[in-house]
């Protein structure tokens, strides 16, 4: 019952985030799967008929992993987008575009300093402080969090595509 | 099944007893590769002394280094241009619609930003042929992908069809790699299932099945990872026993008129033509047909006196020394009844 409630809440947060970052996920199905870190959200196009064939099977993943609904540092539940969601960004309302050097450093896990930023569209008040990081081609390379505490914008690295290599899987 | 395993053991060792001692030069090369002498004698029997020597002496440079462009995200030309800007030199790998050969590289193609963004993936030139042999139906019924590993071929199938792809593997770690590959390449139609492909029973039949069976990796001899494997006749026979079991179970899931592609990264007749011949003999209504490929040598149906089906010649063989690919064999089966 709780898992179902968590799934509904996760989907609500996903809808909000998708609107802010311009991700289109409405063309596919979303599935909630309980995992070790929280509720994993998968975007998939696998038909119900196919899933019926697999109802007894040990399924590890459905389509593309797009987010995890988990407990944050302050104990509150939050939705963390994963790299798979980057595939579905179309016209972002909020983003940061960075130069080539900053993009390379970002994929090594580093934060983005003010001099690496080409264009910044701050998240509107109603959006979470998470924004896609775009490289010099305007293609997404990860997720960042805007930090304005130093007076100038710094983009903290939340997750970058270099993770695919660093994860070792 | 025990009876079948015993039969395979007897048939293969009877065939091996006919092997002569390999010529000294071949035996020496084989020993350096951790191969039993009689194991290497099989290669002489199959290819002749000169070509067997060529194969055993082949290094990584004898195989094209290729990548597969993810046509779900970019065109082959766009990725080629992007890589050229990064200092790579590439050219189209024409036996496929999306392959690129890496001619020169400033660093590993598996570490570029384009790779991480999912614009391409690393895949051997022969490995790409297995999916082309399957001819997935663009908006067809579900495809079954057995022994899927990290999903390199599953994500390739997804470039041909939006139909669901059921990828099955026994290894959880490999399926986690599949999950990452699916996210990187943006393929929403793959479902990863942990199960033993030799015994799984699904309540459905499929029009397309790919079985990329675990093998001795004999086709990877030119590559450093292929050279680290110790190869014995006993090891080979054990692989064949498993492969027959896997193929029979795959065939039981094949719908009438459906296509099953059986592929291995090995050019051993025992692991390929012999395995499909056994499946045809034991499973009624299965036939072999030529895969629709633009590359390769015909299969073998006369080797060491093994009971091989006449149509085994329809299998396609790829060799490093002939085709500049990793060694690979691809057989296409169809259920007629």
B337 pLDDT band, cuts 50/70/90, is confident
- Chain B residue closest in CA terms to A136: B113
Query: Are B221 and B277 found together in one domain?
Result: yes
β-sheet with A29-34: strand ranges across: A29-34, A39-44, A64-71, A77-81
Domain final position from A88, A109, A143: A88
User: How high is the pLDDT of residue B140?
Assistant: 83
- Note whether A17 and A81 are within 8 A (CB): yes
| pLDDT tens, residue by residue, A71-117 | 888 888 999 999 999 999 998 889 999 999 999 999 999 999 999 99
User: How high is the pLDDT of residue B141?
Assistant: 93
Contacts of A166 in chain B (CB under 8 A): none
Query: Are B229 and B84 found together in one domain?
Result: no
A169 pLDDT band, cuts 50/70/90, is confident
**How distant is the Cα of A133 from the closest Cα of chain B, in angstroms?**
12
Query: Are A79 and A104 found together in one domain?
Result: no
B2 pLDDT band, cuts 50/70/90, is confident
Query: Are A80 and A134 found together in one domain?
Result: no
What are the residues of chain B with a beta carbon less than 8 Å away from any beta carbon of chain A? 73, 110-111, 113, 116-118, 142, 162, 164, 166, 172-173, 175-180, 182-184, 186-195, 200, 202-204
Domain final position from B122, B143, B169: B122
**How distant is the Cα of B234 from the closest Cα of chain A, in angstroms?**
31
What is the rounded CA–CA span in Å between residue B182 and residue B188? 7
- Residue A130 belongs to a domain with what CATH number? 2.30.130.10
Q: Determine the average pLDDT of the residues in B168-188.
A: 98
**How distant is the Cα of A135 from the closest Cα of chain B, in angstroms?**
10
Cβ-Cβ pairs closer than 8 A, A with B, add up to: 107
Nearest to B320 by CA among B214, B232, B216, B226: B226
Q: Determine the average pLDDT of the residues in A5-26.
A: 94
- Chain B residue closest in CA terms to A160: B116
Asked if A46 lies within 8 A of B164 by C-beta distance, the reply is yes
| pLDDT tens, residue by residue, B108-145 | 999 999 999 999 999 999 999 999 999 999 988 999 99
| pLDDT tens, residue by residue, B261-309 | 999 999 999 999 999 999 999 999 999 999 999 999 999 999 999 999 9
Interface probe with A: pick from B164, B166, B185, most Cβ of A within 10 Å: B164
Query: Are B89 and B238 found together in one domain?
Result: no
Whether B33 is covered by a domain: the verdict is no
B227 pLDDT band, cuts 50/70/90, is confident
Query: Are B102 and B158 found together in one domain?
Result: no
Contacts of B162 in chain A (CB under 8 A): 45
Query: Are A124 and A49 found together in one domain?
Result: no
List residues bridging with B208 in a β-sheet: B143, B259
Query: Are B260 and B284 found together in one domain?
Result: yes
Query: Are A75 and A123 found together in one domain?
Result: no
User: How high is the pLDDT of residue A154?
Assistant: 97
Nearest to B249 by CA among B281, B222, B283, B277: B283
Q: What percentage of chain B reaches a pLDDT higher than 70?
A: 100
| Domain count for chain A | 2
Q: Is the pLDDT of residue A168 over 90?
A: no
Q: Is the pLDDT of residue A29 over 90?
A: yes
Whether B137 is covered by a domain: the verdict is yes
* Token pair of A2 as six digits: 């709780």
What is the ipTM for the molecules in this complex? 0.95
Interface probe with B: pick from A23, A24, A60, most Cβ of B within 10 Å: A60
Query: Are B77 and B192 found together in one domain?
Result: no
Query: Are A6 and A48 found together in one domain?
Result: yes
What is the rounded CA–CA span in Å between residue B36 and residue B50? 19
| pLDDT tens, residue by residue, B314-325 | 999 999 999 999
| DSSP string across B43-66 | HHHHH-HHHHHHHHH--GGGS--E
Domain final position from B122, B146, B164: B122
* Token pair of A156 as six digits: 């903290």
User: How high is the pLDDT of residue A66?
Assistant: 98
| DSSP string across B304-326 | TT----GGGGGSEEE-HHHHSS-
- Note whether B53 and B46 are within 8 A (CB): no
Whether B59 is covered by a domain: the verdict is no
Q: Is the pLDDT of residue A46 over 90?
A: yes
**How distant is the Cα of B157 from the closest Cα of chain A, in angstroms?**
13
Domain residue limits at A41: 2-88
Asked if A54 lies within 8 A of B191 by C-beta distance, the reply is yes
| Domain count for chain B | 2
Whether B155 is covered by a domain: the verdict is yes
Distances from the Cα of B145 to the Cαs of B67, B156, B190, B279, in angstroms? 21, 11, 10, 18
Q: Among all residues of B, which ones are annotated catalytic?
A: 265
Domain final position from A88, A115, A135: A88
Residue A123 is classified by DSSP as P
Whether B96 is covered by a domain: the verdict is yes
Query: Are A80 and A102 found together in one domain?
Result: no
Whether B295 is covered by a domain: the verdict is yes
Q: What percentage of chain B reaches a pLDDT higher than 90?
A: 94
Query: Are A138 and A121 found together in one domain?
Result: yes
Domain final position from B122, B150, B169: B122
Asked if B113 lies within 8 A of A44 by C-beta distance, the reply is no
Q: B278: helix, coil or strand?
A: helix
Query: Are B204 and B99 found together in one domain?
Result: no
A37 pLDDT band, cuts 50/70/90, is confident
Query: Are B223 and B319 found together in one domain?
Result: yes
Query: Are B75 and B191 found together in one domain?
Result: no
Interface probe with B: pick from A26, A46, A49, A135, most Cβ of B within 10 Å: A46
User: How high is the pLDDT of residue A1?
Assistant: 74
Domain residue limits at B92: 65-122
Residue B29 CA, distance from chain mean position: 25
* Token pair of B240 as six digits: 């064949």
- Residue B92 belongs to a domain with what CATH number? 3.30.70.1170
Distances from the Cα of A93 to the Cαs of A18, A89, A112, A124, B271, in angstroms? 10, 10, 19, 8, 55
- Residue located via tokens 């692991």: B271
Query: Are B224 and B266 found together in one domain?
Result: yes
Whether B158 is covered by a domain: the verdict is yes
User: How high is the pLDDT of residue B264?
Assistant: 98
Query: Are A105 and A43 found together in one domain?
Result: no
Contacts of B184 in chain A (CB under 8 A): 83, 161, 164
Residue B117 has its nearest CB partner, among A43, A63, A139, at A139
Q: B172: helix, coil or strand?
A: helix
Whether B142 is covered by a domain: the verdict is yes
Residue B142 has its nearest CB partner, among A50, A65, A103, at A50
Residue A87 has its nearest CB partner, among B110, B186, B195, at B186
Tell me the pTM.
Answer: 0.96
Average pLDDT, chain B: 96
Between B213 and A150, where is the model more confident?
Answer: B213
What is the rounded CA–CA span in Å between residue B205 and residue B275? 21
Query: Are A31 and A61 found together in one domain?
Result: yes
Query: Are A27 and A81 found together in one domain?
Result: yes
Query: Are A38 and A56 found together in one domain?
Result: yes
- CB burial of B239-266 (b: ≥16 within 10 Å; e: otherwise) equals bbbbbbbbbbbbbebbeeebbbbbbbbb
Query: Are B158 and B267 found together in one domain?
Result: yes
What is the rounded CA–CA span in Å between residue B3 and residue A157? 59
Query: Are A77 and A19 found together in one domain?
Result: yes
B90 pLDDT band, cuts 50/70/90, is very high
Query: Are B200 and B94 found together in one domain?
Result: no
Domain final position from A54, A88, A122: A88
- Sign of CA pseudo-dihedral A34, A37, A43, A46: negative
- Residue located via tokens 């959880």: B172
């Amino acid at each position: 019952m709780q898992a179902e409630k968590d799934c509904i809440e996760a989907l609500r947060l996903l809808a909000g985030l998708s609107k802010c970052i311009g991700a289109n996920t409405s063309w596919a199905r979303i599935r909630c799967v309980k995992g070790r870190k929280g509720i994993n959200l998968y975007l998939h196009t696998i038909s119900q008929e196919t899933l019926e064939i697999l109802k007894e099977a040990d399924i590890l993943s459905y389509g593309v992993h797009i987010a995890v609904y988990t407990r944050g540092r302050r104990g509150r539940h939050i939705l963390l987008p994963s790299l798979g969601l980057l595939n579905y960004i179309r016209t972002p309302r909020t983003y940061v575009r960075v130069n080539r050097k900053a993009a390379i450093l970002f994929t090594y896990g580093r934060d983005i300093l003010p001099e690496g930023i080409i264009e910044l569209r701050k998240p509107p008040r109603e959006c979470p402080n998470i924004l896609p990081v775009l490289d010099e081609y305007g293609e997404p390379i990860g997720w960042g969090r805007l930090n304005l505490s130093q007076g100038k914008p710094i983009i903290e690295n939340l997750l970058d595509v270099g993770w695919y290599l660093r994860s070792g899987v | 099944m025990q009876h079948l395993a015993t039969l395979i053991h007897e048939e293969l060792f009877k065939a091996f007893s006919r092997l002569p001692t390999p010529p000294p030069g071949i035996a020496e090369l084989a020993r350096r590769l951790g191969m039993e002498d009689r194991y290497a004698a099989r290669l002489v029997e199959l290819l002749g002394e000169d070509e067997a020597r060529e194969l055993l002496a082949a290094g990584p440079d004898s195989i094209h280094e290729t990548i597969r462009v993810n046509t779900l995200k970019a065109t082959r030309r766009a990725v080629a241009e992007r890589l050229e800007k990064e200092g790579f030199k590439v050219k189209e790998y024409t036996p496929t619609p999306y392959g690129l050969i890496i001619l020169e590289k400033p660093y590993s193609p598996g570490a570029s930003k384009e790779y991480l963004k999912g614009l391409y993936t690393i895949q051997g030139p022969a490995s790409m042929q297995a999916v082309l042999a399957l001819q997935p139906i663009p908006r067809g019924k579900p495809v079954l992908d057995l022994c899927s590993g990290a999903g390199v071929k599953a994500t390739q199938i997804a470039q041909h069809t939006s139909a669901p792809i059921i990828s099955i593997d026994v290894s959880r770690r490999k399926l986690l790699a599949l999950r990452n590959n699916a996210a990187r390449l943006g393929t929403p139609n793959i479902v990863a299932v942990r199960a033993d492909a030799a015994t799984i029973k699904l309540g459905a039949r499929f029009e397309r099945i790919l079985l990329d069976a675990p093998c001795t990796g004999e086709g990877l001899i030119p590559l450093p990872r292929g050279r680290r494997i110790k190869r014995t006749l006993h090891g080979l026979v054990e692989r064949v026993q498993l492969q027959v079991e896997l193929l029979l179970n795959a065939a039981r899931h094949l719908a009438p008129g459906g296509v099953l592609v059986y592929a291995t990264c090995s050019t051993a007749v025992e692991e390929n033509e012999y395995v499909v011949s056994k499946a045809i003999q034991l499973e009624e209504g299965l036939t072999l047909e030529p895969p629709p490929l633009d590359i390769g040598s015909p299969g073998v149906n006369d080797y060491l006196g093994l009971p091989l089906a006449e149509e085994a010649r329809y299998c396609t063989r790829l060799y490093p020394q002939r085709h500049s690919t990793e060694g690979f064999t691809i057989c296409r089966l169809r259920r007629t009844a």
